[in-house]
Homo-oligomer: A and B are copies of this chain.
Amino acid sequence: MKSEEIAKIAGVSRSTVSRVINNYPNVPDETKKKVLEVIEKYNYQPNTCARVLAGKKSDTIGLFIVSIADAENPNRLYKNDYFNQFTNAVVDCANSRGYYVLINIIYCENDYRRVNEIFLQKRIDGGIVLGTEKEAAALINVSKKGCPIALIDYDAEEIKKNESEYENLIVVGSKDYEGAVEAVEYLISLGHKEIGLLSGRLSTFSGRQRYKAFVDTMKKHNLEIREEFILQGDFIKSKTNSAVQALINKGKLPSAIFSSNDDMAIEAIELFKYNNIRVPEDISIIGFDNITLASLIKPALTTIETPIYSIVEKTVEELIHNISKTRKGFRSYSYNTKMVIRETCTKKLNSLLTL
């Protein structure tokens, strides 16, 4: 069934059918009604490709999930709680605003060009990039070519320097620096002085912010930052496992750890348990993100919550503004985090743990 057939049955021209479908103002109610009835009766749906080819939007948002670091895992997304929450929030928010979502996973650096390809293929009206790494420059160029792009977790300051070039770009994220400061201050307020860091990938903005906040806060309190207590987990469970195991093997633990995300914190807790190191009695640990798991593990994880749903909702809304040109110019938004105190942190005890 195509518009011409609808037109014939309704006794009008294709043009009029099209005007009805696209809500043109100057169609008399009677004509409109007649056409709509035929459309309804025959369950007619205009061919999206024909519409796009004729100049309409595809009403589709591309979601690009950067999963480069996890390259060794064949099923990258399959059990990643953090990405899951984002993905689902994007689908929720976009669907409820009449947009379709085309999901893509960026497995390797070479895959970055897929963003450009998919845009050039006219499959999407705009894109959301999640887990943006430093190498994302290519993406930013896509936005220069006219494709509205929203980056989640990216350094907005860097872009602001040349703001005028980035008309089609949006950056949304959370106040990770402030959140991480709160986490470290909390540990210090509990009496901890020997505090370790489980660091995320420094090629991500959030990784760098959380790292910097740790260093700054320790310095502010004149606390020593011991190199052996800085563990490079890179937001990856397997890396975290080796790093923590190496620390345990050395025999000397900090009394508390700030972990740059919950995934790593949970991995560390599992490993401590396995080595008969009690959390929080022997070592306190605080995470970041507040993923679903955080409240369900035992002991329940104390952490800093990132407001994922708010971030995604804003991202989708602003992206749609850029797509429909109802707003323009580079914009960035940053949401407050919130500390969620549960069971994995306690006051520094006097007794020192001997392994």
Contact status A53-B49, CB under 8 Å: yes
**With the chains together, A266 CA to B296 CA distance in Å?**
9
Contact status B121-A103, CB under 8 Å: no
Residue of B nearest to A119 (CB): B45
CB-CB < 8 A to A338: which residues of B? none
CB-CB < 8 A to A60: which residues of B? 102
Contact status B45-A117, CB under 8 Å: yes
Contact status B77-A103, CB under 8 Å: no
Shortest beta-carbon distance from A266 to chain B in Å: 7
CB-CB < 8 A to A121: which residues of B? 45-48
**With the chains together, A123 CA to B102 CA distance in Å?**
11
CB-CB < 8 A to A223: which residues of B? none
How many residues on the A side are at the interface (Cβ–Cβ under 8 A)?
49
**With the chains together, A120 CA to B117 CA distance in Å?**
25
- Chain B CB within 8 A of A4 CB: no
CB-CB < 8 A to A297: which residues of B? 296-298
Kindly identify, within residues 162 to 180 of chain A, every residue whose CB is under 8 Å from any CB belonging to chain B.
none
- Chain B CB within 8 A of A81 CB: yes
Kindly identify, within residues 48 to 92 of chain A, every residue whose CB is under 8 Å from any CB belonging to chain B.
48-50, 52-53, 58, 60, 75-81, 83-85, 87-89, 91-92
Contact of A48 among B92, B123, B266, B298 (CB under 8 A): B123
**With the chains together, A122 CA to B48 CA distance in Å?**
6
17 contacts between A and B (CB under 8 A): A1-B120, A45-B120, A45-B121, A47-B53, A47-B121, A47-B122, A49-B53, A49-B58, A75-B88, A75-B89, A75-B309, A79-B88, A81-B84, A87-B87, A100-B104, A293-B293, A296-B297
